[in-house]
Structure 1
Amino acid sequence: MPIDAQQVDAPLTQTAVFLVVTVTDAPDAIATIRSVLADVSGLIKTVAFRDLGANLTCTVGVGAAVWTDLTGMPSPRELRPFLPVEGARHTAPATPGDLLFHIRSDRRDLCFEFERLLLSGLGDAVTVADETVGFRYFDVRDLLGFVDGTANPVGPALPESTLVGDEDPDVAGGSYVVVQKYLHPIAAWQSLTTEQQEAIIGRTKADNVELDDAATGQKSHKTLATIVDAEGVEHDILRDNMPFGSPGSDQFGTYFIGYCRNLWVIQQMLERMFIGDPPGLHDRLLDFSSAVTGSAFFVPSAEILDGLDDVPAAVPPAQPASSTPAGTTDGSLGLGALR
């Protein structure tokens, strides 16, 4: 990973906060946000010193609507708002989001403290659109009982799959990121047999062994989420999904977060899941997993993020010169006759 990249590949942690905010029209909102983002690395050090082994990190993503205002740079070539995907039975909705903060640590209290100080610094410059606290569940399983993230790239394939390179040199070292919140009707899922669940996921439940693809007809989630281009090249993404929920509130879910070098990879993945491949044969996992949020961001390099304090303030456009004289020689204001 380039030395100036944010930690999109930070180690798996025991807890995380997925914080999505929108920018308000408060005076100096952009200036305030620039100042806070430029010091995110310093704030991490401030909080992390309490337990340097707890792996506190915060990855910052910036949405299309505010990218140029915040950075003073042209937009990354694939950056755009999240595109909703509408299938015959299920929809991946688009929801508001200008900034993403992916806060990770092995200690919940460090995530809490970092988020508290972060939002205090941002003040009225932002409004919280969604705040989700995730936790690691047993041996990296989701609440449906299956291991999550098995297909993540490793080794040299990791930066190759997640970090923008020379194809967009102004933002090299950055990454696209998509987040979605999914809710699960656990009782309905648990009413299925283990064999039915495995057929939907495409892996065995107990030992996470990959099952063969279906020769025809309905494809598994594993198959639909695998993207292969016209040249036969497979394109991976990095997931750091986490379960969230509250048994007392009967809420059970998975927070999907995917980092990628090319945003079109996740877009195609969602189209295959929600519309189907072939169309009409949607991912059966969606019958037990409903998307309720969806936002897309670009994670700038650490160099860009740290340098936001140096971005010159926007200069208001000059007012056009008035064609009406400021005054006349007879002492009037030159307003003309009233009509």
Structure 2
Amino acid sequence: MSLKKFGHDLIGHFQTGVSYMIPLVAAAGLLESFAVVFGGQDVWNQTSDIWGNLRLIGQTGINFIPSMIAAYIAYSIADRPGLAPAFIVGLVSAKLGTGFLGGMLVGILVGYLVEWLKKIPMPAKLISVKSIIIIPLFSTLVVGLVMIYLFGEPIKSATDGLNNWLQGMSGGNAVIVAAILGAMMAFDMGGPVNKVAFTFGMAAFSTGTTGGYEISTSMFMAIGIPPLAMSLATFLGGKKLYSESEIENGKAALVFGIIGITEGTIPFAVGDPLRVIPSMMVGSALASAINAMFGTYQTTALATIMSIPFSSNWVLYIIAIVIGVVVAALMVNFLKAVTHHQPEPENE
């Protein structure tokens, strides 16, 4: 198999994972957002009322994203035998905090390992044992240990290093710190880098000081930039750069961007990570940095669009958001155009 064909097949497998994941992101993300909007920030710490329970349901679904992606990428590669091992190791990946990128890696590893195991000849009497016991056991064991021992500790070390680096940066130039936080929020959209930036921003928010709010605003602003940018990008690029399903996902991304669900960008990032992720990082970093340069901040834990009414200067706040969204959208479309990216044909 040529490298080009392998890459083309891999994109198809990624898109299968995305198609199964979209309803999960929509349902879980919307429930989580409704809970925070109507129940306030206290919903994160309790389940004593309806809003706390909605948060619990939504958060559980969001945490399942790595496992869902892993399972259905593996399913696309190896059919049904790939599902169970990838679901299990995907949950392990989620516990390790690898985000959707870790889920993609699990899906690839499990899928191709299971596909190889399926081709190993065995006596007819052992075929059922092979499919029910040997393949799921061996693939779960191997890929699970690979994720834990090869990726678990490096991810933890990298996360700790990022935290320490941000702590060292916090006393420096506010614009640089804001740009770094914005880029980190868009890098893996719920993964370890995103979580470091979010945790750092929340720690600053909890200080209740103007300086703390300036830092947390940079993080909160970046949450909705990627989905808003991809919604605009699909509108501008149309069928020349995007498939019908991607254009539909772009409409959903607009809703995700308004209510503040970064994960609404994951379908685009999974299908075209080399163009989408850098573009979203640039747009998010730019929006956060420009807002920091303006010196505006907001004192709530609401994201992007929903925090506008609470900004110290809502006009400048909106300008920063618009610049970030437009730049990210134009950049991703430019990269697709100059590299002659063609939208994948729809499955019949």
- Provide the TM-score with structure 1 as the length reference: 0.26
Q: Which has the higher helix share?
A: 2
Bigger radius of gyration: 1
Q: TM-score, normalised by structure 2?
A: 0.26
Higher share in strand: 1
Tell me: higher relative CO, structure 1 or 2? Use CA pairs within 8 A at least 6 residues apart: 1
